[in-house]
Amino acid sequence: MMNPTLQALPPLDRDVLGKLFGKSLLLTTDWTTAELEALLAVAARLQARDHGRGGVPADNALIPNELAYAVFFDNSTRTKSAWAGAASRLGMSPVIVDGSSTQVSHGETAVETGAMLGMNAHAMGIRHDLILGEGNAFMRDVKKGIDDYLGATDKAQKVPVVNLQCDIDHPTQTLADLAWLREHFGDVDAIRGKKIGVSWAYSPSYAKPLSVPQGLITLLTRFGADVTLAHPEGYQLMDSCVGAAGKQATESGGSFRVVGDMDQAFEGAAAVYPKSWGPYDLMLERVAANRAADKDALGDIERRALERNAKHTDWICDERRMGLTEGGDALYMHCLPADIGDEVTPGVMAKHTVNVAREANWKVYVIMAMLAVGKVEGLADRLG
């Protein structure tokens, strides 16, 4: 008989899981809603097993003796450790490499890099998030290099590529956010009809990528949420993401709107996600400066971005704004790290410290699920 703890979890869809074998996750919009549901059901099961709930064994070593290789072209604390934690729980060996230390910095192409890394690795994670128009394209080229090599050598090995944050999306983050929203509100359909505010917030630290808010609006609108995106003028997101969010909201029975006032994102919200990102035009300016490896130009763009941010220091998640939310008690969310005192007041953060840690903890299970669905045939049977 199945353990009651596992029985209470969303069922595993064998047909859909079968289609995910060997699949990469480069954008959530590449996956059907049923595929995302299947992935999240696996993540929930792996979490229950890992936590040993109801006496369920913690042994999740489904992929022994394989290499989980990840390349990061930007800093990371949470995602790097979640990749390592996920791979090692599954019995894989995690290796994480700084992208600037690879031959990509000498001009080796993403396709060539993919072929070289794919022949040795059994799964590949990539973070390439700083340059608009480049990160996701780089990941797709790496995947092409891997697939071309494996196809030409008739190797049966599957090497799924996992987006660990690009210029468009941060799928392991936003799926972790969705899993946490479901856990917090106690139901897999919990965000349907719930008002969720995604807002720009002031940061003096650096011009942050657009991928988290873009990933949030394109994911949450698929599940019936009423999403409000707020930002000052000049901080718009990519048209393709805003367009997808509007279309999906219509299809799912949710709603989506863009406003220029942070308060409106908080009014009546059940959850708020205030975080900073860089001014759109300056993020685009980075592209040419980066291609020319012009460090002075990149430094100047960063300085101008922070000057622009500083015109909006009143965009902060504070106690007054939290008071505008549903019952004055919305769930505060953040992908972390947050600029405390700038994006959010110390008091709001202190109240939600455990909540944001629980939100972050879902990432290890989302990455585990991603590796498991891509690598383990007959996964539903293996998970029980």
Q: Using CB under 6 A as the criterion, which residues of the chain lie in contact with ligand CP when the complex forms?
A: 76-79, 165, 173, 335-336
Beta bridge partners of 257: 228
Q: What is the nearest approach in angstroms of ligand CP to the Cβ of residue 334?
A: 8
Residue 271: φ, ψ to 5°: -145, 145
Residue 370: what residue type? M
Q: What is the rounded CA–CA span in Å between residue 314 and residue 233?
A: 14
Residue 223: what residue type? F
Under 8 Å between Cβ of 71 and 102: yes
Q: Pick the closest to residue 90 from 377, 384, 357, 375 (CA basis).
A: 375
Q: What is the nearest approach in angstroms of ligand CP to the Cβ of residue 80?
A: 6
Report in angstroms the alpha-carbon separations of 77 from 41, 80, 83.
Answer: 26, 6, 10
Q: What is the nearest approach in angstroms of ligand CP to the Cβ of residue 5?
A: 28
Residue 376: what residue type? V
Under 8 Å between Cβ of 286 and 308: no
Q: Which is nearer to ligand CP, 97 or 336 (CB)?
A: 336
Beta strands in the chain (DSSP E): 67-72, 93-98, 123-128, 161-166, 195-200, 226-230, 255-259, 271-275, 331-332
- DSSP string computed for 81-100: HHHHHHHHHTT-EEEEEEGG
Tokens of 368: 């585990």
Q: What is the rounded CA–CA span in Å between residue 26 and residue 141?
A: 11
Q: What is the nearest approach in angstroms of ligand CP to the Cβ of residue 209?
A: 10
Q: Which is nearer to ligand CP, 139 or 188 (CB)?
A: 139
Residue 124: what residue type? M
Q: What is the nearest approach in angstroms of ligand CP to the Cβ of residue 261?
A: 26
Under 8 Å between Cβ of 169 and 28: yes
Q: What is the nearest approach in angstroms of ligand CP to the Cβ of residue 145?
A: 25
Q: Which is nearer to ligand CP, 222 or 275 (CB)?
A: 275
Q: Which is nearer to ligand CP, 23 or 78 (CB)?
A: 78
Sheet strands side by side (includes 161-166): 93-98, 67-72, 123-128, 161-166
Q: Which is nearer to ligand CP, 283 or 335 (CB)?
A: 335
Q: Which is nearer to ligand CP, 94 or 224 (CB)?
A: 94
Q: Which is nearer to ligand CP, 79 or 113 (CB)?
A: 79
Q: What is the nearest approach in angstroms of ligand CP to the Cβ of residue 273?
A: 12
Q: What is the rounded CA–CA span in Å between residue 88 and residue 47?
A: 14
Q: What is the nearest approach in angstroms of ligand CP to the Cβ of residue 77?
A: 4
Q: Which is nearer to ligand CP, 62 or 166 (CB)?
A: 166
Q: What is the nearest approach in angstroms of ligand CP to the Cβ of residue 200?
A: 17
Q: Which is nearer to ligand CP, 127 or 195 (CB)?
A: 127
Under 8 Å between Cβ of 192 and 181: no
